[in-house]
Amino acid sequence: MAKKCGISTLLLFGVYALVMYVYIFHSNSGGIPVPLKGTVVDPHVFMSERELYLSEEYSKIKNFLYFVATPFEWIVYLFILITGLSQVFEKWTTVKKQWVFLQNALYLFLLSLFIFIVLFPLDYYRYSLSKNYGISTQTFNSWMRDNVIDFWVDFGTTVVIVTVLYWLINRNPKKWWLTASLLMIPFSIFIMFIQPVLIDPLYNDFYPLANKELETKILTLAEQTNIPAEHVYEVNMGEKTNALNAYVTGIGSNSRIVLWDTTLNRLSESEILFVMAHEMGHYVEKHIYFGITKSIITTLLGLWLTAKLMLWFIARFKHILKIKQINAIHSLPLFFLITSFLLFASSPLSNYISRYLEVRADEYAIELVEDPSAAVSTFQELTKAGLNEVNPPLLVKWFRYSHPTTLERIINVTNEIESKELEGR
């Protein structure tokens, strides 16, 4: 029965991958509407022929990888269950009952290591692809170092979460999801608080912005928007990527304004000020609290659905999945599989909300710096640096774009200009 289930899953995955390949590589979705050709939104206007070719090719490959990689991870989790490997990991890590934290840590280490090894070729291909297309500038040693840090940071936080989670499941197998959801609120806020000072510096070096004149202008904007910032930080991302970014991170006394050095080197001062005004827009409009609220709601619904689905799958397929009971640690791959699926399925809604907030931040930035031309050129430069599509296919936009497309962002700017002109008449 388990073998039949495995073969059926692989066949289904093959059909799905073929459908996505045809959709991404051979459909006519996306592209620039005819009335907008030759305008500032047309990539033929602001990108070279080589950039256009690389953008189209690179975007198709990375989008296809996204749509097949996540279901492939589900197959890995399913493989761990139906082969009994999860039970084997549990037996290998059996310790005295009072040392449950140690057992969970040992089990999770074996599970994480196995998944890391299985998915490593796919991760390495993504890295190689990004490097071949000129997005990544990172050496293999540096990339591996980041992967190892990722492994241990994820491992440490997951051990804590899983230990608490299974303790709650043991205490109340039917209502554990509610208490777990409530406990995730302070835990998430704590992670947001320590990330800028403890986690982020593990990957990169942060230091005060060297350009003090630019820092003064950024802090003046921050003062206008009541952001409690005394310094602007830059981070040495040029060692790893040619992409551009800036952000306001952290909460409370640990909040930071951060600029990538690639952004500083590639964008003009007016473009940098627009980018920073956009990030400040998120702060002023309390988008961090929108994010926290969304996280609370999605966690509550997600864990509730996960609890229901785990009980249903175990009741119906426990012999195939080789799960004896929900409170056994070897059921963890099923938990990961279901939560991963729910996150994937809910990403269109999550991205829709995120895109709305990004539009609001764009509108705030345009009002604050009063330089629409800087906004347009910024969006063009971001597109060129990341080899992004100006108007991606609909499914790609739904599942992948947490920001509006370049087409939408530039149209929003031009609409804003036109409305201002009408008001002035």
Catalytic residues, by residue number, are 279, 362
Q: Was 282 annotated as part of a binding site? A: yes
Q: Was 26 annotated as part of a binding site? A: no
| Residue 275 Cα distances to 3, 208, 218, angstroms | 53, 18, 10
Report DSSP state, residue 289: H
Give 26-35 contacts, CB < 8 A, sequence gap 24+: 27/393, 29/393, 29/394, 29/395, 30/389, 30/391, 30/392, 30/393, 30/396, 31/391, 32/390, 32/391, 32/407
Other beta carbons within 10 angstroms of residue 42's beta carbon come to 16
Residues pairing with 259 in the sheet: 234, 246
Q: Was 231 annotated as part of a binding site? A: no
Reference 46, options 385, 371, 372; nearest CA is 385
Reference 9, options 70, 111, 79; nearest CA is 79
Coil, strand or helix: which one is 150? Answer: helix
Task: Quickly tell me which residue has 């009335």 as its tokens.
Answer: 35
Q: Is residue 77 within 8 Å of residue 336, measured between CB atoms? A: yes
Distance (Å, whole) CA 124 – CA 53: 23
The angle subtended at Cα 123 by Cα 122 and Cα 128, nearest 5°, is 95
* Binding-site entries for Zn(2+): 278, 282, 358
* Binding-site entries: 278, 282, 358
